[in-house]
Structure 1
């Protein structure tokens, strides 16, 4: 396949990609060769062509049927790993069962996920029950624990570098009575879209001060210090990580023209990408991913059987095959 100049449409007239070409600073992520090095055009083009040719166009390409998520067969495990290697995500589907919060961690271990991030709103086992908690403790003040829509984000975008959320398992015990679907986008496809529009966009979003999350305070003072950092970074193995939220409150973008243009371009990608996948996890289904971009629509609960998902977040990436 010989891909078009941009699989996400031509750069807008008058946008960052029009006019005389500007010098592009070298190696925005500190790499030395490879698809994320702006000087290594050959590596980027080869990786881009393979990535776009293989990109899934429906959730069906992600689904793996699993008999017992606590004890994957070798075939099931490899099928999940292969999809995560290709798409950075997979969906498993099994027979709906009881509400066992240990499932996400048990499944994660079989995929190489060991370092659980036990955030302060998780239960004692480090697993977060995602359900509406109106009037039920501090979690009630945070959007994931309401029935409201959640904009595009990656998990843990407010964490410091040493606590980057690399992977996540999200298991559905009960869906909402109405709504609650997710949209998903592989962050590597977002990189391609932005680089095709203008390499200066990915350069700006790889700056160490591109995005800052203000400190969070509670009755005892500062509960979380201000956290700055890049949107795009590489891990020790040269794999792309993305830190992002589409929220306009509780976030500060670097106040320069390059960053503002890049943020606007990313919003455009999220609004128009043909590779955005949409669907709802039903009972017994789950998402395993390398912390891809995702959102959630608002929903309406059945009071007798409210929506319940279990989430485990990890500092590891999903294992290679």
Structure 2
């Protein structure tokens, strides 16, 4: 079947586009939205609960979940529960980044720890739009991501999510040349990470849009203004400007949700950001999220439906 992500296959693209928008617009209008689900027992999710998450990730590239019995787990048990849930969804290859814990999950919380405090995720500051692992090597591409809230902030800390397939549609409908530009292999470079004169990570250059082994769309993006190098051609810069305006316009396709204790998201590494927040003065009450970045791709239920 021709890929809808090929600019040479407009008919295939339009068929996929219309089906995607119909699913999304119907789901977003429901209350609660169709991309939200309940898990009664975090350590023993039912087959239906797991299939619901996978279906939502197939249809909307994300699934927001709520663990009903989350208060029965302490922090260590919560982490084990998260890893168990991910494994049951086919996610086991964790990205052990430099800020990750020993179990390769990352504790996202305000910290003064050396090697972490200089990065915005570990502060109370606003976190701009991005996909995870945009600075990784190609063989360490982050295809799936889990973010679980153990403790919410006192105030603020709202997350925003946008399905990257929707971003692709908006860009392609505006100007197909934007897609061609953003699929260039040298369109986006993240310079080397150098700390105290030592190279922690080499510079990484690659496309914004690419296809994974399933033929599904992957997006590599950051809205950061520093330590980022965009290819300096007019079409690329126009495309980057369009993306920025898309976020500023408060598109109807942007999902806003302040994660509460026991809630989380499992996704195909969609676009996301976070507002600034006010934290508790008590260390044991500070906002705490656990993040898992996975090299695995979430399973497809019906590949033909999504191509």
Q: Counterparts of 2:177 and 2:242 in 1: how far apart (Å)?
A: 11
- From 183, 186, 209, the equivalent of 1:206 is 183
Matched-pair contact (CA < 8 Å) for 1:113–1:319: no
- From 137, 146, 150, the equivalent of 1:173 is 150
Gap runs ≥5 in structure 2: 302-307
Equivalent residues in 2 for 1:180-195, closer than 5 Å: 180-195=157-172
Equivalent residues in 2 for 1:1-321, closer than 5 Å: 33-55=2-24, 56-57=27-28, 60-95=33-68, 96-97=70-71, 98-99=74-75, 100-133=78-111, 135-219=112-196, 221-272=198-249, 273-304=251-282, 305-321=285-301
Count of equivalent residues = 289
Alpha-carbon offset, residue 220 of structure 1:
5.5
Gap runs ≥5 in structure 1: 1-31
Q: Counterparts of 2:272 and 2:104 in 1: how far apart (Å)?
A: 22
Q: Counterparts of 2:245 and 2:228 in 1: how far apart (Å)?
A: 19
Matched-pair contact (CA < 8 Å) for 1:104–1:170: no
Q: Counterparts of 1:252 and 1:219 in 2: how far apart (Å)?
A: 22
Q: Counterparts of 1:119 and 1:253 in 2: how far apart (Å)?
A: 24
Q: Counterparts of 1:232 and 1:195 in 2: how far apart (Å)?
A: 12
Give the structure-1-normalised TM-score: 0.87
Q: Counterparts of 2:234 and 2:168 in 1: how far apart (Å)?
A: 19
Matched-pair contact (CA < 8 Å) for 1:230–1:243: yes
Relative to its length, the structure with more helix (as a share) is 2
SS in 1 for 2:210: strand
Give the structure-2-normalised TM-score: 0.91
